[in-house]
Amino acid sequence: MVEDKASGAGLTRRELLKAMAVVGGASTISFIAIDREKLRAVLKPVSLEEILGLEAEASADESELERKARKKEEEIKKWCSREAEKICSAKGGDSPECKEAKRRCSMVKVKATPAKPGVRFAMALDINKCIGCRRCAYACVMENNQDREMHIEWIKVVSVPREEFEILNTKLDYTKAPEKNMVYVPMACMHCEDPPCVMVCPVRATFKEPDGIVVIDYDRCIGCRYCITACPYGARRFNWRKPTIPVTELNPNMHILGNVLRQPHVTEKCTWCIQRSRDGGVPACVEVCPVGARSFGDLNDPESPIRRIIEEYGAFVLRPEAGTKPRFFYYFGPARTPPREEASGKSGGEG
Amino acid sequence: MAAREYGGGFVDTIKYIVSKGLLEGSRAYYMALLGLVLMAAYGVYVWVFIQHAPVFLKSDYGGMMLTGMSDSVPWGLYISFFIFWVGVAAAGIVFGLAGYVFGHKGFKKVAVLGEVQAVAAIVTVLSLIMVDIGRPLRAMILMPQLPNLHSMLDWDFMVLTGYLILNIIGFLVTVHYYRQDKPIPRKFLVPFMIIASPFAIGIHTVTAFISQALVARPYWNSPLLAPRYVATAFASGPAILMLVLVLAEKYIKGFKVDDDVYRKTMLVMVGALIIGLYFTFSEAHEVFWYTTEPLKKAQFEEAFYGYHLGYLPVMMMLWIGLGAAAVILALIPKVRNTWPGRLLIAVITIIAVINEKTMSILVPAYIPDPLGRYILYYPTPLEYAITLGMHAIGILVYLVLAKVAIEVIMTHYFRGSGAHH
C-alpha cells in the first residue's frame, strides 16, 4: 500500500491514458464497423418522407400486418361466438339480443388496409357551430369498440368561456348545453406532424402512418404510459383493466391498428376511424355531428373541404407553442349555431 | 474482467458469498431475512394475482384499475420511489471515486459498501419499473429488440442495467481480492472507474431527462430538473451510507471507520442539501414571482399550497424544513462529531429527500392535467403493498451483500495485512 502511494500519481495517469485509448479505440472500431443502414433506421423512427406520405411502407411490412389481422379476426370471432352463446342460453335462441349478437359475430372483419400514397388526412372543426352535445364522443365509443365502464372516451368536449380560451377555466363535466357565452371545443388526438408520443415510446408501438394518422400497435404496447405523460392534449387513454364490450353493440368493421378489440393494460386513442377513412369514408364523429361542425379530408387534395376551410376562414390549432404541428384545425365559421337570439342583440358587449 | 483471469478462484468467491451471505449468521439475521422474504413474496403475489391478473392469468377481474392511477395521473407511487432510489444508487461509485481515484484510504475501505448500496437500490428500481409497466413480459422481449433511441426510457433502461452490472462486477471483484487479503489490482480499478463514473451521474441525469423535456408537463419542463435530481441524490445516497457506517461501527466489533470519512461525507451531504434547497427556492421564485403561464403556475400551486391534494404541501414543507434542519445541525460541531448526531443528521436528510424526491416531484406534474382537470391521486393499499414488497427485495439484497462486504472488509483491513497500514 505504501509503495502504491509513492508511485501512485504517475502510474495512474499513464494507465488511465492507456485505458482511455483502449476505450476510444473500441468505440471507433464499433462505430466504423456498424451497419450504417441499420444505424440510420434505428436513429430515425419517423422520417420526413413518412410524414409527408411520399413513401409507402415496405410491402413486407404490410403482409405481416395482414397476417396479424387475420389471426386477430379468428380470435375475435371465437370470443364473439362464445359471448353470443352465453346471451342466447340466457335469453333464449329467438330473442332479439341473441340474433343481434350472432349477426354481429358473423360480420366481424379485421382489416389491415394500408395507407393510400399521397394522402394526408386532416380534420377541421367549426367552433361557431359546435353545440357541445357530445354526440361525437358517444358515436366514437360505439364505433371504436371502447370499453363501456372505464370512461375511455377518445373525444372530450370542453366548454370554454367566450372571453378567453384558457384550458384551466374550461369545464368537461357540464350538464347543460348549449349555453350562451360558451363555446364548445371537442378535443381528441391531434395527429400531430411531430408527435411527442411517438418520440417517447420505448418500443415504437406507436407510430405515424404515411397518411398522417398516428396509430398504436396494440400487440406491441408495453403499457408504460410514457406517451400519456408526453401528450400535451391529454388524448391518450389506458385500459386499466380488461375492457368490456357487449357483443350486441360490437362494431364488426375493425382495423388492426384502430378499433380492434383491445387487451388489458395497453394505451389507445383516436385513429380518425382508420377503418372508415382508409376505405374512403369519414370518421364517425364527422358523420354523426348534428350541426355539421366537423369536416374531414385530404390536405394534399386542393378540392378537399379542409383546404377550402383553411383558405376561406383561416384556422388555428391548440397549443401551437408545443410545436407539435397538429393536423386538427379549429376555425370560426360564418354562422353561429348555439343561442342566436340573445347573442345577436348584444354581441358587441360580450366581445 | 480481472475475475476471468482467476477463473478457478472466482468460483470459490461465489461459493464464499453464498456461504457467508446465506449459510452463516445469527438467529436475528435469519429472522430478518425470513421477514423480508415474506414481505417480498406478498408483494409479488399481490402483483401477479391481483394487479396484473388480466395480463398474467387472463382473468376478467383485477388490473391496474385497482391502483389510484388514472389517465390523468398515469404514474404514481411506483415511479415516485423509482426516482428516489435511482438517486440513492449513485453513492456507490461516488465512494469508489473518492477511494480509488483520489486515493482516500478511509473511503477505499468502505467503497464496497457503496457498491452494495448501488446494487440494492438498482434492484429496487428495476422491480418498481417491472410492477409499474402494464405488460412486463412484452417489455422484456421488446425493449432490447426494438429500442427507440428517441425515447429516454430506453436510455434509462440501458444506463440502469449497465450501472447494475458494473456494480455487481465491482462487488464481486472486491470480495474476490479482499477475502484473500489482497488489494484490488490497479489493472482492474482504472478501467472500471473510467467506465463506471459517468454512469453514476448518468443514471440520475437520464432519469430526469425522461420527464424534463416534456412540453406537456410544465412542472417538469425546466432545465433545472436534472440538476435538482442530482443535487438531492448526492444528499440521500451518502446519508444512507453514513447511516449504515454509523450503525456498523457501533454494533460490529472491530469495525472502524475513519473520522475523515464521516467529515467528508457530511460535507457532500450538506453541500448537496444546500444546493437542493437553493434550487427549490429558485424554482419557487420563477413560478410565484412573475410567471403568468397558467398551467405551470397551477401545478406549482398544487405542490406548494395543495388546494386539492393536501399531502403535497406537507411533503414540500417537510423537505424544506428538515433539509434546513439537517444543514443547521451539521454546522454544529458538537452534533456532527458524535455518533448519535451523525445518525440524526443522516436520518433527517433521508426523510427530507424522500419528501422531495417521491410524490412531490412527480404528482404535481399531472394535477391539473393538460385538459385542465383536477383528477386526484391517492395511492391505494394495493400499491403500498406492492411498493413495500419491492423494497423488501431491495433490502434483502442489501442485507445479504452488505454482510459479505463487511466480512471481507474485516478480513482485509482489520484482521489481515491491511490492518498494518
Probe site for chain B from A265, A267, A325 (most B CB atoms < 10 A): A265
Question: Do B117 and B250 sit in the same domain of this protein?
Answer: no
What spatial distance separates the first Cα and last Cα of chain B, rounded to whole Å?
28
DSSP B83-141: HHHHHHHTHHHHHHIIIIIS--HHHHHHHHHHHHHHHHHHHHHHHHHHHHSSSHHHHHH
Residue A111 has pLDDT above 70, yes or no: yes
Residue type, B232: T
pLDDT the model gives residue A52? 54
CB proximity under 8 Å: B 371-400 to A: 371-373
Examine the pLDDT at A10 and tell me if it is beyond 70.
Answer: no
CA angle A234, A236, A241 (to 5 degrees): 130
Long-range pairs for B311-315 at CB < 8 Å and ≥24 separation? B311/B359, B312/B359, B312/B360, B312/B363, B312/B364, B315/B355, B315/B356, B315/B358, B315/B359, B315/B360
The answer to whether residue A48 scores a pLDDT higher than 90 is no
Q: If you average pLDDT over residues B404-414, what whole number do you get?
A: 89
**Cβ-defined contact of A16 to B63 (cutoff 8 Å):** no
A30 against B74, higher pLDDT: B74
User: Which structural domain range is residue B113 located in?
Assistant: 1-213+381-421
Per CB-CB distance under 8 Å, the chain A contacts of B191 are 19, 22-23
Verify whether the Cβ–Cβ distance B139 to A22 is below 8 Å: no
| Among chain A residues, CA nearest to B191 | A19
| 8 Å CB contact of B74 and A168 | no
Are residues B109 and B8 both part of a single domain?
yes
Judge if B201 and B130 occupy the same domain. Answer: yes
- For chain B, what is the domain count? 2
Mutation target among B135, B145, B155 for the A interface, most CBs of A within 10 A: B135
- Residue B214, pLDDT score: 92
Q: What does the alpha-carbon distance between residue B415 and residue B417 come to, in Å, rounded to a whole number?
A: 7
User: Are the Cβ atoms of B147 and A158 closer than 8 angstroms?
Assistant: no
Mean pLDDT of chain B: 90
Checking if the pLDDT of B366 tops 70, the result is yes
Please indicate, yes or no, whether residues B146 and B5 belong to a single structural domain of this protein: yes
Whether residues B71 and A236 touch (CB distance < 8 A) is answered with yes
Q: Which of B69, B71, B191 sits opposite A19 (nearest CB)?
A: B191
pLDDT in tens, A264-302: 999 999 999 999 999 999 999 999 999 999 999 999 999
For residues B166 and B272, state if they share a domain.
Answer: no
Q: Residue B247 has what pLDDT? A: 93
Assign A62 a pLDDT band (cuts: 50, 70, 90): low
| Residue pLDDT, tens place only, A198-252 | 999 999 999 999 999 999 999 999 999 999 999 999 999 999 999 999 999 999 9
Interface test with B, best of A40, A50, A225, A321 (most B CBs within 10 A): A225
Q: Which residues pair with A207 in a beta bridge?
A: A215
How far apart are alpha carbons B221 and B212 in whole angstroms?
A: 5
- What cell numbers appear for B240 in the block? 444512507
B370–A232: do the CB atoms touch at under 8 Å?
yes
The C-alpha of A303 sits at a distance from chain B's nearest C-alpha, in angstroms, of: 34
Cell, residue A12: 495512474
Half-sphere exposure of A201 (CA within 13 A, CB side): 26
B97–chain A Cβ distance below 8 A for any pair: no
| Cβ of residue A317 closer than 8 Å to a chain B Cβ | no
Determine the pLDDT at residue B64. 93
CB contact under 8 A, A12 and B190: yes
Cβ–Cβ under 8 Å, residues A57 and A114: yes
Q: Which of A276, A238, A278, A282 is nearest to A146 (CA)?
A: A238
pLDDT of residue A50 exceeding 80? no
Say yes or no: A6 contacts chain B, CB-CB below 8 A. no
Instruction: Collect all residues of chain B within an 8 Å Cβ-Cβ radius of residue A230.
Output: 214, 216
A26 touches chain B (CB under 8 A): no
Pairwise CB contact (< 8 Å): B135 & A323: no
Is pLDDT above 60 for A65? yes
Of B153, B183, B216, the CB nearest to A1: B183
Looking at residue A343, what is its pLDDT?
46
Give the chain B residue nearest A186 (alpha carbons): B371
Question: Would you call B62 and A4 a contact, using CB atoms and an 8 Å cutoff?
Answer: no
Mean pLDDT of B392-399: 96
Residue A149 binned pLDDT confidence (cut-offs 50, 70, 90)? confident
Best B83, B104, B367, B373 member to test A by mutation, with max A CBs in 10 Å, is B373
Q: What is the pLDDT of residue A5?
A: 42
Query: Who among B66, B368, B371 is closest to A156 (CB)?
Result: B371
How high is the pLDDT of residue A8? 43
**How many helices, marked H, and strands, marked E, lie in chain A?**
14, 11
Query: Is B227 found in the same domain as B290?
Result: yes
State the helix-helix crossing angle for B311-331 and B259-285, rounded to 10 degrees: 140
Chain B residues whose CB is inside 8 A of the A2 CB are 421
Nearest chain A alpha carbon to B60: A242
Q: A129 to chain B, minimum CA–CA distance in Å?
A: 21
pLDDT in tens, B293-325: 899 999 999 999 999 999 999 999 999 999 999
Kindly state the average pLDDT of the residues B34-51. 96
Give the ipTM: 0.91
pLDDT at A339: 65
Query: Which of A172-181, A283-292, B1-10 tops mean pLDDT?
Result: A283-292
Least confident of A29-38, B60-69, B388-397: A29-38
Give me the pLDDT at residue A41, please: 64
Q: What is the mean pLDDT of residues B239-263?
A: 91
Of B215, B371, B421, the CB nearest to A187: B371
Q: Give the pLDDT mean for A144-155.
A: 91
CATH class, domain A121-350, is alpha beta
Tell me if chain A has a CB within 8 Å of the CB of B301. no
Partner residue facing A223 (CB), from B103, B133, B194: B133
pLDDT at A2 over 50: no
Mean pLDDT of B230-234: 91
- Residue pair B150/A195 in contact (Cβ under 8 Å)? The answer is no
B84 and B173 together in one domain: yes
Whether residue A229 lies within 8 A of chain B, CB to CB, comes out as: yes
Residue with the bigger pLDDT between A5 and A136: it is A136
Instruction: Please report the number of interchain residue pairs, chain A to chain B, with beta-carbon separation below 8 angstroms.
Output: 183
Does residue B147 belong to the interface with chain A, where contact is any CB pair within 8 Å?
yes
Higher pLDDT, B226 or A60: B226
**Domain residues of chain A, as ranges?**
61-108, 121-350
**Which residue in chain B is spatially nearest to A238 when comparing CA positions?**
B71
Residue A340 has a pLDDT of: 55
Least confident span in A53-62, B269-278, B397-406: A53-62
pLDDT surpasses 70 at B363: yes
Whether residue A322 and residue B368 make contact (CB cut-off 8 A), yes or no, is: no
The pLDDT assigned to B3 comes to 37
Does B125 share its domain with B187?
yes
Alpha-carbon gap, residue B326 to B343, rounded angstroms: 11
Instruction: Among A20, A244, A324, select the one facing B194 at the smallest CB separation.
Output: A20
Domain match, B118 and B228 both:
no
Q: Do B130 and B189 belong together in one domain? A: yes
- pLDDT score of A82 more than 70: yes
| pLDDT band for position B179 (cuts 50, 70, 90) | confident
What confidence score (pLDDT) does residue A78 get? Answer: 94
Q: Which residue has the higher pLDDT, B29 or B94?
A: B29
Tell me the average pLDDT across A326-346. 74
Mean pLDDT across the stretch A46-60?
50
State the average pLDDT over residues B207-219. Answer: 92
Collect all residues of chain A within an 8 Å Cβ-Cβ radius of residue B153.
200, 202, 224, 226
Chain B nearest-CA residue for A14: B190
Shared domain check, B403 and B364: no
Q: Is A11 near chain B, with CB under 8 Å?
A: yes
Q: Does A1 touch chain B (CB under 8 A)?
A: yes
Tell me how many helices (H) and strands (E) chain B has: 18, 0
Report B:184-203 residues touching A (Cβ under 8 A). Answer: 186-187, 190-191, 194-195
Nearest CA in chain B to A232: B216
Q: Indicate whether B263 and B155 sit together in one domain.
A: no
